[in-house]
C-alpha cells in the first residue's frame, strides 16, 4: 500500500508536466463560472486540494485532465451553492438536437464575452458554453466532466448560446465603488513607498499576524516571514505600481517599467487592520488571472468631499 506521504509525489508525477498549462485553463473556466478572477483562484485552489485528497482512491487515472476538470467543475458548483446562486438547476431534456459549429467570428465573440455577461446565464448553460465554445472540449468530454447526458448537453448548449447573444446585446451598467479618503491614503502610501523602494517603511506597517499569499507559489505567515516578501522585490527594479480596481475592489496594479497607462502585468490585493497591513495577495505567479479581469485605473487624488 502506498504511504500517504507518497501521494504528493504521485500527484506531481501525474500532473506536474502539464499542471503549468492546465492551471490557466482551469482558472479560465472557474472565472467564467463564478464571475470573478479572484474567486476563481479560490475555487481552483480548493479543487487542487480536493484532487490531492481524492487521488488515493482514484489512481491510476486514465484521463488526468478530464478528472481534474470534473473536480474543478464540482468545486465551482459548490462555491455557487454557498453563494446561494444555484437556484436554476434544470431537469434534463432528453431531446435529440444537432449542435451547430460556430463560425470563427462567433467563437471569437464568445471567448471575449465578459465575466459579468456569463453570470447572467443559468449555471448549467454557462458551464456547457464555456467548456465547448471557450475551452474547446468535445461533447463527450463535456458529458464526462459535468455528468449530464448527451441529449441534455445539446439542449443546454442550444439555449445557452441563444441566451448569451441576447444578454450580450443588453449590457448592464455597473456602478463603480467610491473609495473613502482613508482607503485612498492607505493605497497611495503603499504605492508611493514601493515605487520609492522604501521597503522598510512598508515593513513597519506589517501587522504581527500578517499573511502574504503569492498565489500559486507560497504563503507566508507573520511579520518575520512576510518581511522577506519585500526583500525579493528590493532586488529588482522591474516593476512599478499604480492604483486601480479589480472587479470593483481596490487593488495595486503592477506594471512593467514604462508608461503607467499601459496594461498591468498583474495585481496585488491588500487588506488593512487600521493602518497596519493584515493580508497581501500577490498574483505575480498567477498572471493568467489578468486574461478576463475587469480592470480600472484609478486617480488617487483626494478631494475635499472625500475628507468630509
How, if at all, do strands 218-221 and 239-246 pair? unpaired
Tell me the per-residue pLDDT of 34-46, one tens digit each, with 9 for 90 and over: 999 999 999 999 9
Question: CB of 7 within 8 A of CB of 55?
Answer: yes
Tally Cβ neighbours within 10 Å of residue 42: 15
Taking domain 181-307, whether its CATH number is 3.10.450.50 is answered by yes
Tell me the per-residue pLDDT of 248-296, one tens digit each, with 9 for 90 and over: 899 999 998 876 557 899 999 999 999 999 999 999 999 999 998 989 8
Nearest to 130 by CA among 31, 257, 277, 240: 31
Asked whether the predicted pLDDT for residue 171 surpasses 60, the reply is: yes
Q: What is the pLDDT of residue 248?
A: 86
Q: What is the mean pLDDT of residues 196-210?
A: 96
Q: What is the pLDDT of residue 4?
A: 46
User: pTM here?
Assistant: 0.80
Please state which of the ranges 97-111, 131-145, 233-247, 280-294 shows the lowest mean pLDDT.
97-111
DSSP one-letter string for 205-227: TEEEEEEEEETTTEEEEHHHHHH
Tell me the per-residue pLDDT of 72-101, one tens digit each, with 9 for 90 and over: 999 999 999 887 644 444 444 444 454 555
CATH fold for domain 4-168? Butyryl-CoA Dehydrogenase, subunit A; domain 3 (1.20.140)
Q: Above pLDDT 90, what percent of the chain?
A: 52
Q: What angle do helix axes 139-146 and 64-82 make, rounded to 10 degrees?
A: 50
Residues 167, 168, 173: CA angle, nearest 5 degrees: 85
| CA–CA gap between residue 88 and residue 64 (Å, rounded) | 30
In the chain, domain spans: 4-168, 181-307
145 contacts: CB under 8 Å, gap ≥ 6: 66, 69, 70, 73, 131, 137
Q: What is the pLDDT of residue 95?
A: 44
Considering the chain, what is the average pLDDT of its residues? 83
Amino acid at each position: 500500500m502506498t504511504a500517504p506521504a507518497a501521494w504528493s509525489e504521485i500527484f506531481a508525477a501525474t500532473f506536474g508536466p502539464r499542471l503549468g498549462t492546465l492551471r490557466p485553463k482551469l482558472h479560465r473556466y472557474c472565472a467564467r463560472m463564478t464571475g470573478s478572477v479572484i474567486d476563481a483562484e479560490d475555487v481552483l485552489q480548493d479543487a487542487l486540494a480536493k484532487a490531492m485528497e481524492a487521488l488515493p482512491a482514484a489512481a491510476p487515472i486514465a484521463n488526468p485532465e478530464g478528472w481534474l476538470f470534473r473536480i474543478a467543475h464540482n468545486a465551482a458548483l459548490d462555491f455557487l451553492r454557498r453563494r446561494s446562486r444555484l437556484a436554476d438547476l434544470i431537469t434534463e431534456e432528453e431531446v435529440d438536437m444537432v449542435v451547430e459549429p460556430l463560425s470563427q467570428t462567433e467563437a471569437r465573440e464568445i471567448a471575449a464575452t465578459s465575466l459579468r455577461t456569463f453570470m447572467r446565464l443559468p449555471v448549467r448553460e454557462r458551464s456547457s458554453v464555456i467548456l465547448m465554445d471557450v475551452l474547446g472540449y468535445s461533447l463527450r468530454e463535456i458529458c464526462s466532466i459535468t455528468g449530464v447526458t448527451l441529449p441534455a448537453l445539446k439542449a443546454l448548449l442550444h439555449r445557452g448560446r441563444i441566451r448569451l447573444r441576447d444578454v450580450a446585446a443588453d449590457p448592464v451598467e455597473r456602478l463603480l465603488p467610491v473609495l473613502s479618503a482613508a482607503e485612498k491614503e492607505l493605497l497611495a502610501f503603499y504605492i508611493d513607498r514601493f515605487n520609492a523602494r522604501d521597503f522598510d517603511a512598508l515593513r513597519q506597517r506589517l501587522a504581527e499576524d500578517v499573511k502574504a499569499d503569492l498565489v500559486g507559489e507560497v504563503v507566508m505567515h507573520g511579520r518575520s516571514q512576510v518581511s522577506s516578501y519585500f526583500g525579493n522585490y528590493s532586488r529588482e527594479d522591474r516593476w512599478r505600481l499604480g492604483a486601480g480596481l479589480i472587479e470593483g475592489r481596490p487593488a495595486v496594479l503592477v506594471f512593467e517599467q514604462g508608461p503607467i497607462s499601459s496594461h498591468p502585468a498583474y495585481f496585488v490585493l491588500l487588506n488593512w487592520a487600521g493602518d497596519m497591513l493584515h493580508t497581501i495577495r500577490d498574483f505575480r505567479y498567477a498572471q493568467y488571472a489578468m486574461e478576463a479581469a475587469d480592470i480600472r485605473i484609478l486617480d488617487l487624488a483626494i478631494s475635499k468631499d472625500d475628507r468630509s
